[in-house]
Amino acid sequence: MAVPGPAPNAARRGVLVIPAYNEAARLPALLAGIAAQALPLEIAVVDDGSSDGTREVAARAGATVLRHPFNLGYGAGLQTGYKYALASGAPWVVQMDADGQHDPRDIARLLEPIRAGACDLVIGSRFLEPTGYRMDPLRQLGRRFFVALARGFGFRVTDPTSGFQALGRRVLELYVGDAFPSDYPDVDVLLTAHRHGLVVREISVEMHAGVRASTLHGGMKSVWYLYKMMLSLWASSSRVTRS
């Protein structure tokens, strides 16, 4: 897809992408925490059609606001950030959730391997080392299932649903395609990156309980998630095989 070219004075610094939907209450603390790290990055909050003033809160904090005219989904929000970063000439992107479950102090550690050119994608994992993070049994079962499934494809990952990641340009170029899911980009897109020969690493991070984790909660939503992820895994692996 064609994305608008770089802005006239676009600096070649990284972009921190924060997809947000009705997060006006939690954003100020998160943005203040990020500002305290004094990192060389542009903060881009993707307001996914919020109705609670998320856009104004983010703009007041000095963030670039990418506002969807209507709700498109978490994955589409991330992708808007990737497209913006690519168009701005950003060398890398860090993505984190707006609900405060990710710690801004981990951003620099997450970025190190990318900036060193050691890999293309870094996942902040809750399970690489014991961190005391508690996950309810059903979600834990789902996570183990997808970890095992990814291993079946020759891809070793401990936290495939982590939304805390650092991505290099090669990953961004892959993720701005139309195959990137609009709802939950989890193990399926990680596997796509792996199968395209991109180097994926994990580092251990601390996380607090958040709201996005609801994708693996009980009920019909988890059944839909399981179905959709299986189909997406099959489709993405067959696409790579064909290409």
Partner 1 sequence: MNPNLTPAQLRELFLDNPDLEATRWLALSISVLLIAVVLLLVRKRALREEYTPIWVAVSATLVFVSLRLDLLRELTRAIGAWTPSSTVFFLGELFLVAICLNYAVRLSRAGTQLKNLAQELAILNARVDALAPRNSPAPSAEAGA
> How far is Cα 60 from Cα 101, in angstroms, rounded to an integer?
22
Strands (E), the chain: 14-20, 41-47, 64-67, 92-95, 121-125, 165-168, 200-204
| 127 near partner 1, judged by CB under 8 A | no
| 21 near partner 1, judged by CB under 8 A | no
Instruction: Specify the residue, 64 or 204, whose C-beta has the smaller distance to partner 1.
Output: 64
Q: Would you tell me how many other CB atoms lie within 10 Å of the CB of residue 134?
A: 8
Instruction: Specify the residue, 72 or 147, whose C-beta has the smaller distance to partner 1.
Output: 72
Instruction: Specify the residue, 83 or 143, whose C-beta has the smaller distance to partner 1.
Output: 83
**Cα Rg, the chain, nearest whole Å:** 17
| 40 near partner 1, judged by CB under 8 A | no
Stretch that binds partner 1, among 3-11, 19-27, 131-139, 184-192 (CB under 8 A): 3-11
Q: Would you tell me how many other CB atoms lie within 10 Å of the CB of residue 196?
A: 16
Helices (H), 89-186: 107-115, 137-152, 169-175
**Shortest distance, CB of residue 67 to partner 1, whole angstroms?**
5
> How far is Cα 72 from Cα 84, in angstroms, rounded to an integer?
16
**Shortest distance, CB of residue 72 to partner 1, whole angstroms?**
6
| 150 near partner 1, judged by CB under 8 A | no
| 61 near partner 1, judged by CB under 8 A | no
Which residues, 6 or more positions from 137, have their beta carbon under 8 angstroms from its beta carbon? none
> How far is Cα 75 from Cα 225, in angstroms, rounded to an integer?
13
Stretch that binds partner 1, among 68-76, 161-169, 205-213, 218-226 (CB under 8 A): 68-76
**Shortest distance, CB of residue 179 to partner 1, whole angstroms?**
10
Structure tokens at 161: 């649903």
Instruction: Specify the residue, 49 or 91, whose C-beta has the smaller distance to partner 1.
Output: 49
| 20 near partner 1, judged by CB under 8 A | no
> How far is Cα 60 from Cα 46, in angstroms, rounded to an integer?
14
Structure tokens at 146: 């997808």
Q: Are 42 and 16 in contact (CB under 8 A)?
A: yes
Q: Which of 13, 68, 196, 212 binds partner 1 (CB under 8 A)?
A: 68
| 51 near partner 1, judged by CB under 8 A | no
| 205 near partner 1, judged by CB under 8 A | no
| 46 near partner 1, judged by CB under 8 A | yes
**Shortest distance, CB of residue 213 to partner 1, whole angstroms?**
24
CA 125, chain centre distance (Å): 12
Binding interface with partner 1 (CB under 8 A): 1, 3-4, 7, 44, 46, 59, 64-70, 72, 76, 79-80, 83-84, 87, 178, 182
